[in-house]
């Protein structure tokens, strides 16, 4: 993170269980996973942004909210791991309904950043070696 000048790093499909926060050196790791070693999301904060951490909300194994203090508004970073189109329409719809619910429960004036693995797919065929490097 330091070498690449990354302050906040979101990770998806981390496969950790449970939820929590811990320090690793001067970085802070916040994570949210399910009961199985599937899915899971994490947000890693550098030393500077670790000082701004006000709290976190582990929604489920596909969604995590971290609240950072900011001026003039606080910042909510929402890390997501969306289901692919191979999941049922009900699963996909439920995921986006949960995301809407999370966003609607945050203060209107606060900054909201949604990031993560959106798992977007366009079309139904796979093209191999398209770029032919």
The CATH number given to whatever domain includes residue 106 is: 3.60.10.10
pLDDT at 128 over 80: no
| Domains of the chain: total | 1
Report the predicted TM-score, pTM, of the whole model to 2 decimal places.
0.84
Report if residue 126 sits inside a domain.
no
**Low-confidence winner among 33-42, 73-82, 84-93 (lowest mean pLDDT):** 33-42
Q: Is 99 inside a domain boundary?
A: yes
Mean pLDDT over the full length of the chain: 88
Q: In the sheet where 19-24 sits, what is the strand order?
A: 8-12, 41-45, 27-32, 19-24
φ, ψ at 87 (rounded to 5°): -80, 165
Q: Range of 73's domain?
A: 8-117
């Amino acid at each position: 993170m330091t070498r690449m000048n990354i302050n906040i790093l979101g990770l998806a499909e981390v496969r950790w269980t449970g939820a929590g926060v811990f320090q690793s050196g001067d970085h802070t790791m916040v994570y949210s996973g399910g009961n199985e070693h599937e899915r899971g999301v994490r947000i890693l904060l550098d030393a500077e942004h670790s000082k701004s951490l006000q709290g976190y909300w582990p929604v489920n194994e596909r969604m995590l909210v971290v609240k950072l203090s900011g001026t003039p508004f606080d910042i909510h970073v929402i890390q997501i791991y969306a289901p692919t189109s191979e999941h049922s329409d009900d699963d996909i719809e439920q995921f986006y309904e949960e995301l809407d619910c999370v966003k609607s429960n945050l203060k209107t004036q606060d900054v909201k950043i949604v990031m993560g693995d959106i798992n977007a797919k366009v079309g139904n065929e796979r093209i191999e070696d398209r770029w032919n490097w």
